[in-house]
Structure 1
Amino acid sequence: MLRVLGQTWPLMVGVMLLMVGNGVQGTLLGIRGTLESFSTFHMSIVMSAYFLGFLIGSRLAPAMIRNVGHVRVFAALGSLISATLVLYPMLVEWQVWAVMRVVIGFGFAGIYITAESWLNNTVTNETRGQALSAYMIVQMLGIVASQALLGFGDPFGYELLLIPSVLVSLAFMPLLLAKSPAPTFEATTRLGFRELFKISPVGFVGMLISGGVFSAMFGMASVYGTLALMSFQQIAMFTTALYIGGLVFQYPVGWLSDRMDRRSIMLWLSIAATLVMALASFVSLPFVAVLAVAAILGGITYPMYSLIIAYTNDYLDKDQMAAASAGLIFLNGCGAVFGPLVTGWLMGAVGPHGFFLFIGGLYLLHAGYILWRMSRRAAPAVAGSYIGMSPTASSVAAAAVLEGSHEVPNRS
């Protein structure tokens, strides 16, 4: 692991700073917009716009990289994000924020694709699994650190959006000055959605649902906290609990997934999430209990994404993996666009607990579909190992995970 970090530290430092900047703006806008009396539905449009931009960026960024190279794309998108972050407190209109969130999402999609292809090119087949795990951990730590940063400023001030702009600008220095050569980026063939559904219906549907859950959780958590009359510090603690839960649960869930039917794990995790979300929706809980609910939600949602990738991988041939990863990420992005929209509508209709109600409903749907599919097809032989993966990763990381998991000996 130390050798891997020695090879990839410029990338890891850059990604850490990027995630701090992205995490601050995502949470802060939810708080600031609600305090500015934007309606819940308008805020859901603002939050959903990031995932629309991310979806567009994930489709266009590879062509941009092939045309002008990694360095130029990296620098251009970084400058675009940094400038947009500074404009948020100057243009406090939900329509303008929505447009800027599309720009931010587009920029981060291109940056993730660039960074992950760079990482994939730097490491060897023997160290790829360790490098990807370190990359995902750094992403999570960056987001957790961003929530701690929220306690050092005023949501109505400029500082909390100026700091992320500075961090994003600084993030590119270690990457652009690194000695490692920029990688080549080959075009990826497409795998049709009908074929992808035939290969793994549970993976196909699960990715759509996972996108909706993650975007609702990531995009609307701070809006929920503001509507629930939490203090600024409590909202930061609530969002931090979501990510810490995801970080802590990755390993035990992954350990189990390499030793038993992955669908059974997904089923029981979905049932557990449904029950916990029902409790949070219909019972008035003290703040400490709400933090526990957040940790459980994050602890289920993050590993669920990796489980779906690993389960689909069990049905894939090696030459299908790159195309399948692109299709899975696109499905996840489609679900993500609608997650905040429906959550915002529901919160406007029934109150803050609509946040948990929507997520619980998606997990109930997921559990029901998995149960039905288990009656239709036997579990596959586990073809590769589970590798923890963040829902913010691009198709480059997904393809590397799929290919790398086949190279890791099965521990069952």
Structure 2
Amino acid sequence: MSAPLDLTPAERRRGLVAAIVGVSVFAACLGHSLPFFAVRLASLGASNSFIGVNVALSALAGLALTPFLPAVIGRYGIRRVLAAAFAVIFAGYAAAFLSGERLYLWHVARLLIGAGSTAFFVASEIWINLAVSPERRGAVVGLYATALAGGFAAGPLALELTGYDGASPFIAGAAFLVLAAPPILTARPPAFSPREKTVSVAVVTRRAPIIFLAMAVFSLGEAALLSLAPVYGLRIGLGEVAAGRIVLAYSLGPVAFQYLLGLAADRYSPRIVLAACAAAGLAGAALLPAAVRNELALYPLLFVWGGAIVGVATCVLAYVGGRFAGKELAAANSGIALAYNAGALAGPALGGAIMDLAGPDALPAALAGAFALLLMLLAPTRPRLGP
């Protein structure tokens, strides 16, 4: 797909820098909200099931909104949708701040943040894929994924400074939004041709179903790991500190590897690198039960495994950018968001149920099965990802 004709090369470069910088700060806001909401709700006396439902509402909001995004972005443009996303997420933080002990308002806040985040990521990923040159797509998407992972990792660090009580954490979350908005809202994003017709999510998913399945597998695995890895560590005998480090080690891998994986996708093709990431995801899941007994092996494994699992998403984004154009790309990125939210909704519930039924080591076994299925579907003898 060629770069959009309505932007000069300099405008494309400035827009890409603005989008990636803004996304990194925006991701810090989301990385801040997840632990903050959970801990604050627990301190208010919310039950574990209430907190679990609160987390799930974010994915539900994304699932409900996604089918409408291609038409909305096509009609109003990328910049207006991004501005609306900022406003909706800010309203979510405001609802939580004003909630007091009215716990139901925290559900309203989570719905708003989930809907705004979905719109933000779909619009920003369309921007990046429309503006980047084809020969550099993988590298730029890798930079985007690195910025995203770094932002998510940085968000919880703000809570180390503000704590979880009082108004300070709300101010920190709002500050992330205020810092993320200017670079994105002042740059010029690509525009769609007014002659293009809106394409539905269903149309593009039928044309390349395996790529959307890959995103669902990534999301399911990551959501299960991020929510259940500390519990898994405790169940197999690790101490609290060591169990908590599982998520930290896993989260650092994506920061280190995504740009390199993007370069590899440019050189060898996203499909080949996607298959390699799926194979590494399978290997990591198979090795985890043995490595978890030795911390010297565990944390390096999690570091590489995290980079490989998130690499699946990086390759998916690079693939759809090269495969689809214009409003088809808007539908494809919306389809990616739909698959992501479906996996994020199912992953923690399925992972928890599997651990309850068959013990803690059933979690990595189930993840190994998911990556094995994806690898089988990506095999050269299987149908192509799309025409």
Range class of TM-score, shorter chain: 0.7 to 0.9
Residue 274 of structure 2 corresponds to residue 274 of structure 1: no
Q: Quick check: 218-227 or 115-124, which moved more?
A: 218-227
Cα distance in 1, alignment partners of residues 325 and 281 from structure 2 = 29
Distance in 1, matches of 2:130 and 2:275, equals: 35
After superposition, give the CA deviation of every residue in 1:334-365 in whole Å (9 maximum; x if it has no partner). 22221123345556x479x85x7435413323
- Conserved? CA contact 1:44–1:343, under 8 Å: no
Which residue of structure 1 aligns with residue 381 of structure 2? 377
Q: How many residue pairs were aligned?
A: 370
Q: Percent sequence identity over matched residues?
A: 21
2:258: which partner in 1? 250
Would the alpha carbon gap of residues 73 and 251 (structure 1) be closer, same or farther in structure 2, given more than 3 Å must change? closer
Classify 1:373/1:53 alpha carbon distance in 2 versus 1 (closer, same or farther; 3 Å): same
Q: Do the aligned residues in 1 keep the contact of 2:230 with 2:247 (CA within 8 Å)?
A: yes
Mapped contact 1:241–1:291 kept (Cα < 8 A): yes
- Does residue 335 (structure 1) correspond to residue 343 (structure 2)? The answer is yes
Cα displacement (A) at 1:159:
2.0
Amino acid at match of 1:377: T
Q: Does 1:23 align with 2:34?
A: no
Alignment TM-score, normalising by the size of structure 2:
0.73
What is the CA distance between 1:25 and its match in structure 2? 0.8
Assess, with a 3 A threshold, how the Cα gap between structure 1 residues 70 and 12 changes in structure 2: closer, same or farther: same
Q: Residue 21 of structure 2 corresponds to which residue in structure 1?
A: 13
For 1:129 and 1:143, the matched residues in 2 are separated by 21
Deviation at 1:290, TM superposition (A): 5.5
Change in Cα spacing, 1:24 to 1:5, as seen in structure 2 (3 Å) is: farther
Q: CA deviation at 1:321?
A: 6.6
> What CA RMSD, in Å, does the superposition of the two structures yield over aligned residues?
4.5
- More deviation in 17-26 or 181-190? 181-190
Which runs of structure 2 are paired with 1:105-254 in the superposition (5 Å)?
105-120=114-129, 122-123=131-132, 130-178=139-187, 180=188, 183-184=191-192, 187-190=197-200, 192=202, 196=205, 202-203=210-211, 205-218=213-226, 230=240, 235=244, 238-250=246-258, 253=261
Normalization by structure 1: what TM-score?
0.70
Structure 1: stretches of 5+ with no match in the other structure:
384-401, 403-412
8 Å contact from structure 2 (residues 138, 264) kept in 1: no
Q: 2:381 corresponds to which letter in structure 1?
A: R
Q: 1:75 aligns with which of 83, 106, 109?
A: 83
Q: Is 2:100 the partner of 1:88? A: no
The 8 Å contact of residues 22 and 143 in structure 1, kept in 2 or not, is answered as yes
2:370 aligned partner: 365
Contact residue 59 and residue 114 of structure 2 kept, 8 A: yes
Residue segments in structure 2 that go unaligned for 5+ positions in a row: 1-8
For the 8 Å contact 1:242–1:297, the answer to whether it is kept is yes
In structure 1, what is the Cα distance between the partners aligned to 2:70 and 2:377?
37
Q: How many angstroms does 1:4 deviate by?
A: 6.7
Give the Cα–Cα distance (whole angstroms) in 1 for the partners of residues 285 and 342 of structure 2. Answer: 22
SS in structure 1 opposite 2:164? coil
